[in-house]
Amino acid sequence: MQTKRMTFTNNRWLPYLLLAPQVTITLIFFVWPASQALWQSMLRQDPFGLRTTFVWFRNFERLFADPHYLVSMKTTLIFSVSTTLLAMSVSLLFAVMVNRMIRSRDAYTTFLVWPYAVAPAVAGVLWWFIFNPSVGILPYMLRGIGIEWNHRLESSHAMILVVIAAAWKQISYNFLFFLAGLQSIPQSLIEAAAIDGASRSKRFWTIVFPLLSPTTFFLMVVNIVYAMFDTFGVIHATTAGGPAQATNILVYKVYRDGFIGNNLGSSAAQSVVLMGIVIVLTVVQFRWIERRVNY
């Protein structure tokens, strides 16, 4: 990792002093808790919290044998993939359309960026209200076509609700990156294809979409990370994991088991599993960033 050609010398302590605030906070609030989680994940408390024993990887063994956990994993997978697909395809559509505009581009952009500012929990409450079986607008309309909407009882309804809420908030982010990606594609390439007689949709799928693939890949990782970890608020403020665990995604389960269920060993083991997932995703993403920075 580079520095400047010339650096300040004769200041032995200054760099450490400058780093101290950041590093101290990282050590106290990140590294220490993370190692605590690692440690606790190998402990088990008796039911009264009187004795703690070191159990090696038994918490993990139990975890992966626990049908609830496996269901939660599957739920997380369905939730993340659906949210990612929905958020990305809608925003790609918007970006492609907006990119064709000249005068109205900024106006549309303004209308599409602000959901980024809405907290996931607030997004959840908004859609929860719209889908509310008794006063919401959508159930009223759905009733018209013969669907009786009730996310309090129907698992699939609850899942659809949280996916829509989570994806809605993420559209802005994806849209901005897709738009930037589209704008960096040289116009001359598209013109060359047009001269070669490729139709508009053919040009999109054979030229634009492949050239956009770095952006797409990057957004995919970002969206999966978002769906897995940042959507706690969406779930907590609306379905609370229900009905019948149908929306109990992994981050929500860690919280529930740790704070409400008070099962520290299992919660810590779950934390460790999540950290593993984040680290893998971050490494993948970092690889990608490096590639892009070095061209």
Of 215-274, which residues contact another protein (CB under 8 A)?
A: 218, 222, 229-230, 232-233, 236-238, 240, 251, 254-255, 258-259, 264, 267-268, 271, 274
Q: Quote the CA–CA distance of 20 and 24 in Å, as a whole number.
A: 6
CB of 223 to another protein, least distance (A): 13
Angle at 109 between CA 205 and CA 213, to 5 degrees: 30
Count the site residues for another protein by CB under 8 A: 107
Positions 33 through 52 that interact with another protein (CB under 8 A): 33-34, 36-37, 40
Q: Which of 22, 31, 57 is nearest to 42 (CA)?
A: 57
The gap between the terminal CA atoms of the chain, to the nearest Å, is: 16
Angle at 217 between CA 212 and CA 221, to 5 degrees: 150
For 45, list phi and psi in degrees, rounded to 5: -100, 145
Map residues 91-130 to x or -, x wherever contact with another protein holds by CB under 8 A.
--xx--xx-xx--x---xxxxxxxxxxxxxxxx-xxxxxx
CB of 6 to another protein, least distance (A): 6
Residue in 135, 144, 156, 294 binding another protein, rule: CB under 8 A: 135
Q: Quote the CA–CA distance of 110 and 113 in Å, as a whole number.
A: 6
CB of 19 to another protein, least distance (A): 5
Q: Which H or E run includes 45? A: strand 43-45
Verify binding: residue 192, another protein, rule CB under 8 A: no
CB of 132 to another protein, least distance (A): 8
CB of 252 to another protein, least distance (A): 9
